[in-house]
């Protein structure tokens, strides 16, 4: 992914957690790789918590280095990376301060990228301030999630930003779309004749998509208690992964062809019947328990969380897609905090053979499945049955692995690294278009409204488990179970 594209990358929230853990480490990896970033490219950090460039670089040395990849920090590469970084002290609440930013970057070459690693309440004021000093032209703007609290607030932000930046200038980021296995899912489906004939209702029994975290809300209690798992993870990450799994083959891999097909999936989601929400949606909240032997507190006792909070930290959903390819196939989505393991994966369960001359083992559910692991280890594994060595025709489950770190000599690219390079080079395919976002909010809202109106408390689950028992019961009604329950 070589580039000669000159750029000025302006990072709002330059001292924030996201900048330290993800954005600057990703830019450093691109810099260290050589040739991915134009030599003339500059990074301009914007914050008010540092006095000057020297103080900011000291902050970067302390807070970014621990998050650089396992390869560690090559000090020569690190020193040259720091020469790219400039710093502008700005109070984002004072639009007049943006003249300092304009003066600092007006003579820098190339496309301008404004990355808003801030709270969503600042998106519109920052955009207005950029426009007031003429910085909205020859520019791209990156918006982090969450983009709004519901459909109305999301539209309000998009309307306001859309008056200042054209749609093709707006990059709504979802880092799961930049993960290597998600890219390889597209390659497997659309680059091989093997899977496409099977990728449909006739041969797929069910699909599971899980994003599980061992961590709790950490220091984000104030934010999370007003958000919850449905807004934080389902409306964006899980529905985006669903649309990638279920989309039709695009005409090409250009940005609008891919996003058009994702949009068709989101619009084909079966609307949630308010009378059926209790059967297809499970919400839970973690209580005190243990993670790998370490005691952890209940959600309601976390800092910043209301003691009587009814905010969900776990969601499991049964989703259906009303089109010819997927009609009748259940998609089970699940996400939660303080679960038994940190894992993100897509599980495609194929149907059993219609008749087996080899015994009942060939007819069992899950004999053939594809498991796409997004984290912590990025792999794709295809399960099938084979004869066990020895006398008789005894079958056992075996698997074929695509372990990227073993097969490809070059290192994998982290999701943020890929997506930031796409922004700099003007590639929109892996970013969320406004109509996709609206379709996702529109589908999620009946669940949000029902939970708000009923005011029923979420189902409790002990930290260190896989969530409320009701999530397993929901799958049992369809004759299946979560992958870890099989094992």
CA distance 181 to 185: 6
- Is 232 marked as a binding-site residue? yes
CA distance 233 to 182: 17
- Is 273 marked as a binding-site residue? no
Give the number of other Cβ atoms within 10 Å of residue 430's Cβ: 25
- Is 163 marked as a binding-site residue? no
User: Would you call 237 a catalytic residue per the annotation?
Assistant: yes
Rg, the chain, Cα only:
24
- Is 17 marked as a binding-site residue? no
Give the number of other Cβ atoms within 10 Å of residue 247's Cβ: 21
- Is 145 marked as a binding-site residue? yes
Give the number of other Cβ atoms within 10 Å of residue 357's Cβ: 7
- Is 167 marked as a binding-site residue? no
- Report residue 311: phi and psi, to 5°: -70, 135
3-state SS of the chain is: CCCCCCEEEEEECCCCHHHHHHHHHHHHHHHHHCCCCCCCCEEEEEECCCCCHHHHHHHHHHHCHHHCCCCCCCHHHHHHHHCCEEEEECCCCCHHHHHHHHHHHCCCCCEEEEEECCCHHHHHHHHHHHHHCCCCCCEEEEECCCCCCCHHHHHHHHHHHHCCCCHHHEEECCHHHHCHHHHHHHHHHHHCCCCHHHCCCCCEEEEEEEEECCCCCCCCHHHHHCCHHHHHHHHHHHHHHHHHHHCCCCCCCCHHHHHHHHHHHHHHECCCCHHHHHHHEEEEEEECEEECCEEECCHHHCCCCCCCCCCCCEEEEEECECCCCCCCCCEEEEEECCECCCEEEEEEEECCCCCCCCCHHHHCCCCCEEEEEEECCCEEEEEEEEECCCCCCCEEEEEEEEEHHHHCCCCCCCHHHHHHHHHHCCCCCCCECHHHHHHHHHHHHHHHHHHHHHCCCCEEEECCECCCHHHHHHHHCCCCCCHHHHC
Catalytic residue among 49, 63, 128, 237: 237
- Is 89 marked as a binding-site residue? no
DSSP string, 388-407: PSSSS--EEEEEEEEEHHHH
Q: Which helix (H) or strand (E) holds 284?
A: strand 281-287
Binding-site annotation, residues for substrate: 175, 179, 213, 232, 337
Q: Summarize the annotated binding site for NADP(+) as residue ranges.
A: 48, 91-92, 145
Instruction: Show which residues are catalytic.
Output: 237
Specify binding-site residues: 48, 91-92, 145, 175, 179, 213, 232, 337
């Amino acid at each position: 992914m070589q580039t000669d594209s000159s750029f000025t990358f302006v990072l709002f929230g330059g001292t924030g957690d996201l900048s330290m853990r993800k954005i600057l480490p990703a830019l450093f990896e691109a810099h260290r790789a050589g040739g991915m970033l134009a030599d003339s490219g500059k990074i301009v950090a914007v914050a008010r918590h540092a006095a000057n460039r020297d103080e900011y670089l000291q902050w970067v040395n302390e807070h970014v280095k621990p998050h650089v990849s396992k390869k560690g920090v090559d000090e020569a590469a690190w020193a040259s990376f720091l020469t790219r970084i400039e710093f502008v002290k700005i109070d984002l609440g004072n639009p007049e301060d943006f003249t300092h930013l304009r003066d600092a970057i007006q003579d820098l070459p190339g496309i301008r990228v404004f990355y808003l690693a801030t709270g969503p309440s600042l998106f519109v004021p920052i955009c207005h301030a950029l426009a007031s000093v003429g910085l909205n032209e020859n520019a791209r703007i990156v918006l982090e999630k969450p983009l709004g609290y519901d459909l109305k607030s999301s539209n309000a932000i998009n309307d306001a930003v859309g008056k200042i930046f054209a749609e093709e200038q707006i990059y709504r980021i979802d880092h799961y779309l930049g993960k290597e296995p998600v890219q390889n899912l597209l390659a497997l489906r659309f680059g091989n004749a093997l899977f496409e004939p099977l990728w449909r209702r006739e041969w797929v029994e069910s699909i599971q998509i899980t994003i599980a975290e061992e961590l709790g809300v950490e220091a984000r209690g104030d934010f999370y208690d007003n958000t919850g798992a449905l807004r934080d993870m389902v409306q964006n990450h899980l529905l985006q992964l669903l649309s990638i799994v279920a989309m039709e083959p695009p005409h090409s891999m250009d940005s609008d062809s891919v996003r058009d097909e994702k949009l068709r999936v989101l619009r084909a989601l079966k609307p949630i019947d308010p009378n059926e929400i209790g059967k297809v949606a499970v919400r839970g909240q973690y209580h005190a328990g243990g993670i790998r032997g370490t005691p952890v507190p209940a959600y309601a006792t976390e800092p910043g969380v209301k003691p009587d909070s009814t905010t969900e930290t776990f969601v499991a959903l049964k989703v259906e897609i009303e089109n010819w390819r997927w009609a009748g196939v259940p998609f089970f989505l699940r996400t939660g905090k303080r679960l038994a393991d940190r894992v993100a994966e897509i599980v495609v369960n194929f149907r059993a053979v219609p008749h087996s001359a080899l015994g009942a083992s060939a007819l069992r559910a899950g004999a053939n499945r594809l498991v796409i692991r997004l984290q912590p280890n990025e792999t794709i594994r295809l399960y099938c049955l084979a004869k066990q060595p020895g006398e008789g025709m005894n079958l056992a489950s075996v698997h074929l692995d695509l372990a990227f770190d073993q097969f490809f000599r070059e290192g994998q690219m982290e999701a943020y690294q890929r997506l930031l390079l796409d922004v700099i080079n003007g590639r929109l395919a892996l970013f969320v278009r406004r109509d996709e976002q609206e379709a996702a909010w529109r589908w999620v809202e009946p669940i949000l409204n029902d939970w708000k109106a009923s005011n029923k408390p979420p189902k409790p689950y002990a930290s260190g488990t896989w969530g409320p028992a009701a999530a397993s019961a929901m799958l049992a009604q369809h004759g299946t179970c979560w992958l870890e329950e099989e094992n």
